[in-house]
Amino acid sequence: MIAAIWHDYLFAPLLNLLIYFYNTIAFGNLGFAVIYMTIGLRIFLIPFSIIAERNGFKYEKIQADVSEIQKEFKDDPVARKEHIRELMRANRIQPLASVVLTGIQLLTLVLLYQVFVGGMTGKLAALYPAVARPDVINTNLFGLDIAQRNMYAAGLVGALLYWQIWRSQRKRRETLEKNDIIFRYAFPLITFAVLASLPSVKVIFILTAMGFGYIIHLCRPFFTRRLQTVKLTALKIHDKIVGGEKVNSLDSHG
């Protein structure tokens, strides 16, 4: 049943959308079809992208408070996480938007892998009657065969990811921890290793998504111009948490 749901409601729609773009606006080039599909997906996810950008703006503004909490509770990781969580809650930072955004894109990557792995010829049987079956599938995009692996393309994604992480961490260099430094190098390297072993279509998808995301980031001032953050010290958050626990205790005894 799960396999049928995956095929009928996820794999088949994506394949049909790709071939529809291939037959129409991509003018017989599967690479352009992937780009158009990625742009369409990111347009659909714009509400989540805006929320994620607003969350990023708020989080940058509360870095001083986060740093204070980390110093105050450096020997108590449980209390530290609880206080940071309370600080984010007070500022209405909603990490769910980023989770949804990342999750849908990862799902699309998995579906694209299924479309390309082992060749596409046998999979065209899943096309809907309204979508014409092409005689030839052109997978060449500017000299890059997106159906084959390419280390240079994978290296480009890894380099761009490193630059993005470095640029983000530079804004909060005072609060960086050892894990942040490890992540800066490890994530791009792991991404490179994975992409270098997979068809280059993944690279096209990721580069297009990153480009669209950068455009959204440039528009951040329009999404955040009226946002204000709540400045809370570690002591204030501690009092709020303890106060909440006291109220709950009184309610339970009442």
Q: Note whether residue 191 is domain-resident.
A: no
Closest alpha carbon to 98 in 70, 68, 58: 58
123 part of a folded domain: yes
Residue 7 lies in a domain: yes
User: Residue 80 sits in which domain range?
Assistant: 2-149+198-240
The three-class DSSP label of residue 141 is: strand
- Whose tokens are 């490193």? That residue is 162
Q: Which two tokens stand for residue 192?
A: 């490179």
User: Does residue 118 fall inside a structural domain?
Assistant: yes
Q: Is residue 32 part of a domain?
A: yes
Q: pLDDT of 108-143, one tens digit each?
A: 999 999 999 878 888 999 999 999 999 999 999 999
Domain count, the chain: 1
Tell whether 245 is covered by a domain.
no
Report pLDDT for 247: 43
Give the list of residues 6+ apart from residue 36 with CB closer than 8 angstroms, or none. 21, 25, 26
pLDDT at 66: 82
* Ordered alpha helix ranges (H), the chain: 2-6, 12-23, 30-44, 46-61, 63-72, 77-90, 96-116, 151-170, 178-196, 201-218, 220-224, 234-253
* pLDDT for res 252: 46
pLDDT in tens, 154-165: 999 999 999 999
The position carrying tokens 């990153």 is 210
Q: What is the mean pLDDT of each run of 10 residues along the chain (254 residues)?
A: 91 96 96 97 94 88 82 83 86 86 94 88 91 94 95 96 90 75 94 95 96 92 83 60 49 48
Note whether residue 233 is domain-resident: yes
pLDDT for residue 140: 96
Does residue 129 form part of some domain? yes
